[in-house]
Structure 1
Amino acid sequence: MKIVIAGAGAVGKHLARLLVKEQHDITIIDESQEKLESISSNLDLRQLQGNPMSIGVLKTANVQNSDLFIAVTPDEAHNLTCCMLAAKMGAEKTVARVDNPEFTLEAETTFFKKMGVGSIIYPELLAGKEIVSNLKRSWIRQWTEFQNGKLIMLGIKVRANASIVTEDKPIKEICGSDAPFHIVAIKRGNDTIIPHGDDFVCHDDIAFFMTTPEHTAHIRQITGKEDYPEVKTLMILGGSDTTKQTVSLLPKSISTRIFEKSQKRCEEFNRVIDTDHIMMIHGDGTDTDLLEEENIDKCDAFAALTDNSEKNILACVMAKQKGVRKTVAIVENTDYISMAENLGIGTILNKKTIAASHIYRMLLKADTTSVKSLTVANADVAEFPVMENAKVTRHPIKDLNLPASINIGGIVRNGRGILPNGNTQILPGDTVVAFCLESNIKKLEQYFK
């Protein structure tokens, strides 16, 4: 597939590294030679210095013959214009990253599609949805619903008190063929494991469970998370755009205080916020005296959502020390994600990864409905509708010869979630939720053709 990326900033660089692994024909455009050179020299892609709004530059990039044009420069106006030009020149699909949440409204996306902008990505809104989903359930690291909640994936930090942490019971004994859950991925230290029957769950693993809605309470019990409180009070560090999207989605049952050092930003927020369960506090949310005055020790959750990864990590560590059970951090510097995890920060989100997941699904030739990256683990999860004569329907799962890096987590059949075992036969019309190590999703896709 021929892909052109406009913008060699953080998002463009992340996408380029992800896509090159799949052996696509990648061209990346940026006006800054320095940014282009910062992309690893061992990546097999074409670098083109120039203005991506120049028709001449786009022609040199062969946009007219591209399958996908992705505009992720820092300027949303440039991104929208680039996509319009690319579509007129013949690009099959276009994607633009924007900063204005209004552009994600249905009326606006319909307008932009007519103008040639096929899809719009607003990372802050995507991150806000993830944050709220995690705050609603303080005992999990990640919660993802598939097929309108027919199947649910839970990412949980497993401590020594969990009943599934044993030295003598491998996974095949913990979750046999009749168990109400599957363990589909494990993050252990810096390694990601797609587990099989003889593997064990260990203290401090992040285990990813697949289950159906009626069994989430059982998973909470076996992972020793029953004492985690429901989030009713929340503190947020930073009046960022991500914060704006988060509070717009928060249920009114969560009383929220937002700490922001900038008086101007506080005033902007107060004009936008029209609710009595959210309060802006003009002050430094890393000031321990201020936090103690605001009773941080009685707070259920703390979210650090500034644009500074280091500040977010340190703030969450401080909140943990003050007794806050649930913490959330935006960590944009991918080099810091493992460090943040080792420091015991609860939910770690990376907007680049979230945006890349949404863009990446456009590349799959199978009719994939979604692809989601597990932020702290080098793994992806994808939904695949099963077509007639697809390879995955020819044999029971145990006889499909799936690579060790791939795991079938669940099936939705006739509107009902099913947890398959080795003898399960996948049928046309099913929707399959499958897991694989990062960069193996193309291997997975082959089974659904």
Structure 2
Amino acid sequence: MKAIVIGAGKVGYHIAEQLARESNDVVLIDTSDQSLAPAREALDVMPVLGNGASPAILEEAGVSQADLVVAVTTHDEVNIIACLTAKYYGVPTTVARVRNPDYTLPTKALMHGQIGIDLIIHPERLAALEIVKLLKTPTAGEVGFYADGRIQLLGIRITSSNSSIVDKPLSQLGPRNFLVVAISRDESLMIPDGTSEIKLGDYVYVIGRTGDVEGSVFLAGRIPNEIKTVTIVGGGETGLRICEILSEHHEEGLSIKLIEKNPEKAIWLAERLPKVLVINGDGARMDLLQSERVNESDALIAATGSEEVNLLVAMLGRRLGAKEIIVLLGRQEYAALADTIGVHATVVPRILTASTILKLLRKEKLVDLSFLKQGEAEVMEVVISDDAPVAGKELRNAGLPRNSLIGTIIRGAEVIIPHGYSEIRPQDRVVVFAEEDAVPRVQKLLGL
């Protein structure tokens, strides 16, 4: 497949990297040679310097032979025009990252399916939805749903030596209604086997039936809080979207407080969000957080436009005794720093954006796609075709790499937590975990 990625920033680089790893022919366009330099040095892509919305630049990139154009520059208008131009040249699939809600609201004048854009991605909206999902499962640092919501994946930090699974081989834990599918330790992630042991401080991923697997949060050694009060720092697009979603639960007794530094914006937010208490002030100041009793909030969300400010808010909130802390980050490299501060969960919009786009590319057999630990491993929900190499085989004979595993098998209404003798059948839906270097091999075995 030939793909053109416009915009060599964090999101564009990550998408180009994923596409190139899967042996696609990738062209990366940007107006800055400095932005193209990292990809030129590290990725198997063809860099093109220029404006990706220009027909001449697109022709230079080979747009008439392209199967996909992804426009993820920082300018909405450039992304939209680039996709419109690509459609004129006959590109089958176009994707645009668009932040301005004026361009994404459904109107007769601007329906993306009608103007030549197959998928419009709103990173801040994706981030808001992810944060709200985390609030519904306190103690979990990551939450994912598969098989139409029947399967749930949780990321949990093991914080107490009282946990019933510390220092025990996984094979000795006995029958449970969940499966440990990945362990992150000392900033490296591994797919475990029966001999692997969980240590104090590990970040563990577990999967199982929705509802059943939530009981595994007690393995972390701490009882989850019921979220009734939420304090959000930052009234930007993400903070606004979080408040709008949470406001739908106001009648259920949820109390929402939003702290915004800009006076004019705070007034606008107060008018826009009648069910939210909007405070005008600097949420990165200790005295303000103290006066707003952040220690009494069940959750503190740092969602300003600056990841440095968000980390500072998290550090102050931790010192003041905030119960659950969620931080919005622009770069995955800061996730390890957030862990040391004591942040319970981090959300990186570019990772969410990349997984959404890649899921679209594999839409025939790939039902869902997400990343663990900000991209160190992939989670794929796949429908097994009749001709897939793993079809009709038991897991022990399926040939999967050691750093991958199948976490669940969905067969009709049945949800199976598999073992080595479990058989993979055509039309099964499987949830697969694979470390980065195992992904190409796993995809071939699954028939992708």
TM-score (norm 2): 0.94
Residues 73-113 of structure 1: per-residue CA shift (max 9 Å, x gap)? 11112211111110120212110000134655566799322
Structure 2 SS opposite 1:154: strand
Report the equivalent of 1:231: 227
Aligned-residue offset at 1:129: 0.7
Conservation of the 8 A alpha-carbon contact between 1:366 and 1:384: no
Counterpart amino acid of 1:72? Answer: V
Aligned-residue offset at 1:40: 5.1
| Larger deviation, residues 215-224 vs 381-390 | 215-224
Aligned-residue offset at 1:422: 1.1
Structure 2 SS opposite 1:392: coil
Query: Relative to 1, partners in 2 of residues 1:322 and 1:333: Cα closer, same or farther, differing over 3 Å?
Result: same
Conservation of the 8 A alpha-carbon contact between 2:159 and 2:222: no
Conservation of the 8 A alpha-carbon contact between 1:237 and 1:285: yes
Report the equivalent of 2:245: 249
Query: Relative to 1, partners in 2 of residues 1:109 and 1:418: Cα closer, same or farther, differing over 3 Å?
Result: farther
Aligned-residue offset at 1:34: 2.4
Conservation of the 8 A alpha-carbon contact between 1:349 and 1:375: no
CA distance in 1, matches of 2:49, 2:374: 33
| Larger deviation, residues 418-427 vs 180-189 | 418-427
Counterpart amino acid of 2:403? Answer: S
Alignment size in residue pairs: 443
Query: Relative to 1, partners in 2 of residues 1:398 and 1:3: Cα closer, same or farther, differing over 3 Å?
Result: same
Report the equivalent of 2:397: 399
Unmatched 5+ residue regions in structure 1?
Answer: none
Conservation of the 8 A alpha-carbon contact between 2:29 and 2:50: yes
Residues 111-166 of structure 1: per-residue CA shift (max 9 Å, x gap)? 32222211111111111111001112211111111122211101100123343343
CA distance in 1, matches of 2:126, 2:369: 13
CA distance in 1, matches of 2:385, 2:186: 38
Select the residue among 176, 183, 190 that pairs with 1:193. Answer: 190
Answering whether residue 74 of structure 2 is matched by residue 51 of structure 1, we say no
Report the equivalent of 1:295: 293
Answering whether residue 171 of structure 2 is matched by residue 172 of structure 1, we say yes
CA distance in 1, matches of 2:337, 2:258: 26
CA distance in 1, matches of 2:38, 2:244: 36
CA distance in 2, matches of 1:159, 1:87: 52
Report the equivalent of 1:142: 142
Conservation of the 8 A alpha-carbon contact between 2:141 and 2:154: yes
CA distance in 2, matches of 1:269, 1:414: 46
CA distance in 2, matches of 1:82, 1:258: 36
Query: Relative to 1, partners in 2 of residues 1:134 and 1:83: Cα closer, same or farther, differing over 3 Å?
Result: same
TM-score (norm 1): 0.94
Conservation of the 8 A alpha-carbon contact between 1:79 and 1:97: yes
Aligned-residue offset at 1:264: 1.9
Aligned-residue offset at 1:38: 4.4
Report the equivalent of 2:216: 219
Identical amino acids, percent of aligned pairs: 29
| Larger deviation, residues 211-220 vs 117-126 | 211-220
CA distance in 2, matches of 1:85, 1:377: 31
Answering whether residue 97 of structure 2 is matched by residue 97 of structure 1, we say yes
Residues 150-188 of structure 1: per-residue CA shift (max 9 Å, x gap)? 111011001233433433x201111x4x32110001111
| Larger deviation, residues 189-198 vs 411-420 | 411-420
CA distance in 2, matches of 1:440, 1:110: 41
Query: Relative to 1, partners in 2 of residues 1:218 and 1:34: Cα closer, same or farther, differing over 3 Å?
Result: closer
Aligned-residue offset at 1:269: 1.4
Report the equivalent of 1:319: 317
CA distance in 2, matches of 1:62, 1:159: 52
CA distance in 2, matches of 1:261, 1:219: 39
Report the equivalent of 2:305: 307
Aligned-residue offset at 1:291: 1.4
CA distance in 1, matches of 2:108, 2:352: 22
Counterpart amino acid of 1:245? Answer: R
CA distance in 2, matches of 1:142, 1:187: 13
Counterpart amino acid of 1:354? Answer: L
Conservation of the 8 A alpha-carbon contact between 1:184 and 1:194: yes
CA distance in 2, matches of 1:371, 1:184: 16
CA distance in 1, matches of 2:118, 2:445: 28
Counterpart amino acid of 2:85? Answer: L
Answering whether residue 120 of structure 2 is matched by residue 120 of structure 1, we say yes
Report the equivalent of 1:333: 331
Report the equivalent of 1:81: 81
Answering whether residue 419 of structure 2 is matched by residue 421 of structure 1, we say yes
Aligned-residue offset at 1:215: 1.7
CA distance in 2, matches of 1:64, 1:430: 37
Conservation of the 8 A alpha-carbon contact between 2:103 and 2:110: no
Structure 2 SS opposite 1:161: coil
Counterpart amino acid of 2:240? Answer: K
Counterpart amino acid of 1:303? Answer: I
Conservation of the 8 A alpha-carbon contact between 2:160 and 2:222: no
CA distance in 2, matches of 1:444, 1:366: 16
Query: Relative to 1, partners in 2 of residues 1:103 and 1:385: Cα closer, same or farther, differing over 3 Å?
Result: farther
Conservation of the 8 A alpha-carbon contact between 1:186 and 1:207: yes
